Amino acid sequence: MDYLEIAGGVPLIGDIKISGAKNAALPLLAAGLMTSETLTLDNVPNLADTILMEDLLRHHGLDVARDGETVTLAGVADNFDAPYDLVRKMRASILVLGPLLARFGEARVSLPGGCAIGTRPVDLHIRAMQALGAVVELADGYIQARSSKGLKGARVVFPMVSVGATENAMMAAALADGTSELVNVAREPEIIDLANCLNAMGAQITGAGTDTIVIEGVASLGVARHAVVADRIEAGTFAIAAAMTEGDLRLQGALPKHLDALIMVLREAGADIEVGTDYINVRADKRMRSVDIVTDPFPGFPTDLQAQFMAMMCVADGSSRISETIFENRFMHVPELVRMGADIRVDGGLAVVRGRETLTPAPVMATDLRASVSLVLAALATIGTSKVSRIYHLDRGYSQLETKLGNCGAQIIRKSETD
């Protein structure tokens, strides 16, 4: 099993090109099931999760070809069963439910697995499919859905905001008969990116980026080429890394409008940030100040940056209150940060972090994707050598992390337990 050996205490200085967003690429890949024409996606990050989705699409019968960061999807699905062996590895596999159901009238999708960061029920996905006219049953660990006469446009009101359920409903409604109105939907940039791609394929979607999306169903979708939007979470992670190592990083391709909440709190903490249309430059020449945050759906502070921000607060001046409102079990990185000497107290969804001038290098273990990178950041800001294990979590969401950080001065090496 691979691990990272990190000799920290070195400011990160240089340029980093931001990859395409994993959370945008996954639904875009699933959209390849919705057309018999070719869908070409550029800027697709080469990650464990995108590779898993490509394998799932091959299982469904699509021809999938990758050339660097370009993935070409062609052919017609001939298998509507998404089995446990594939789906258990990644929660986002449920995103094939809407496309299969809308295009072929049936789908059998295993209940998904993925990071254990809290309860993320599939009932919102199921309710959306039912509202569009599907008959859905849960049996033997599978979601079994059918719509023998096709899906029908409908008004779908989500009781709570869900990115995945919004994406599934968008894809299903795009091929439904009639008009659909999706209410209380997610507003994340990844939702807009999916709408842009589907519209390029011939869908009629308006309102993406607001809390209500209107979709005029069409009979079929066609050929298209689309570039995946830049990964705001990767960009935010490196922005935090620059601030907490007192470095200077220029994040090429990052979109500042997608990170307003983070940029605001980084400036409040003392970082010097310059933004352009497609870049963010983060500089810091002193220890950061403590700042309170509350995670919220976009445009609020992203839950996917909470662990990284907490790592920075562990070495900030003062005390910080971090409130997690999205996932009830997303403080699993806390015990590992404490192993490095962090002073953190957790009470339900609130963590109080008392910053220390420095942490202590230690062997730590990743528990989920964002927790893993928070430990990398903590190690980078700590003088001495730390070992971060279980980095298969890291490989799910960060492309060429060691190379990108290494080019900016980080002393970070991937090793194997057999070395």
pLDDT digit string (tens) for 286-342?
999 999 999 999 999 999 999 999 999 999 999 999 999 987 667 989 999 999 999
pLDDT confidence band for 114 (50 / 70 / 90): very low
Residue among 305, 309, 352 at smallest CA distance from 327:
305
- 280 annotated as ligand-binding: no
Question: Would you place residue 119 in the very low, low, confident or very high pLDDT band (cuts 50, 70, 90)?
Answer: very low
pLDDT the model gives residue 102: 96
Q: CA–CA separation, 76 vs 302, rounded Å?
A: 36
Token pair 């298998």 is found at 79
- In this prediction, residue 85 carries a pLDDT of 87
Active site includes 314? no
Question: Exactly one of 115, 197, 314, 408 is catalytic; which is it?
Answer: 115
Q: Does 121 show up as a binding residue in the annotation?
A: yes
Taking 3-state DSSP, the helix, strand and coil percentages for the chain, each rounded to the nearest 5, stand at: 35, 30, 35
415 pLDDT exceeds 60?
yes
Q: How far apart are CA 372 and CA 379, in angstroms?
A: 11
Q: Does residue 248 have a known ligand-binding role?
A: no
- The pLDDT of 209-226, averaged and rounded, is 98
| Domains of the chain, start order | 2-18+230-416 (3.65.10.10), 22-227 (3.65.10.10)
Residue 115 pLDDT greater than 50, yes or no: no
Q: Could you give the dihedral angle defined by the CA atoms of residues 183, 184, 186 and 192, in that order, rounded to the nearest 10 degrees?
A: 40
Residue 146 DSSP label: E
| pLDDT value, residue 140 | 86
d(CA 195, CA 245): 38
Q: Please provide the DSSP assignment of 330-395 as one string.
A: --TTHHHHHHTT-EEEEETTEEEEE--S-----EEE--SHHHHHHHHHHHHTSSEEEEEE-TTTGG
Kindly state the average pLDDT of the residues 196-206: 98
pLDDT > 70: what percent of the chain?
Answer: 97
- pLDDT band at residue 90 under the 50/70/90 scheme: confident
Per-residue pLDDT tens over the stretch 262-286: 999 999 999 999 999 999 999 999 9
CA distance 2 to 193: 33
Summarised one tens digit per residue, pLDDT across range 9-39 is 999 999 999 999 999 999 999 999 999 999 9
pLDDT digits (tens, 9 = 90+) for 370-394: 789 999 999 999 999 999 999 998 9
Residue 152 has a CB neighbour count (10 Å cut-off) of 17
Question: Is 91 part of any known ligand binding site?
Answer: yes
Closest Cα to residue 333, out of 312, 307, 351?
307
Element (H, E) at 39: strand 39-42
Q: Is-contact 104 176, C-beta < 8 A?
A: no
Q: What is the pLDDT of residue 141?
A: 86
Pairing of strands 155-157, 179-183: parallel
- What are the pLDDT digits (tens) for 58-72? 999 999 999 999 999
E-assigned strands of 253-318? 272-276, 279-283, 293-294
Does residue 120 have a known ligand-binding role? yes
Q: What integer best gives the mean pLDDT of the chain? A: 94
Rounded to an integer, the average pLDDT of 76-94 is: 88
Per-residue pLDDT band for 113 (boundaries 50, 70, 90) equals: low
pLDDT computed for residue 417 by the predictor: 84
Prior bond of 299 cis (ω within 30°): yes
Asked if residue 23 belongs to a known ligand binding site, the reply is yes
pLDDT for residue 117:
35
Average pLDDT over residues 365-374: 87
Average pLDDT of span 60-85: 96
* Confidence at 92, pLDDT banded by 50, 70, 90: confident
Residues 6 or more apart from 417 whose CB is under 8 A from it? 1, 2, 3
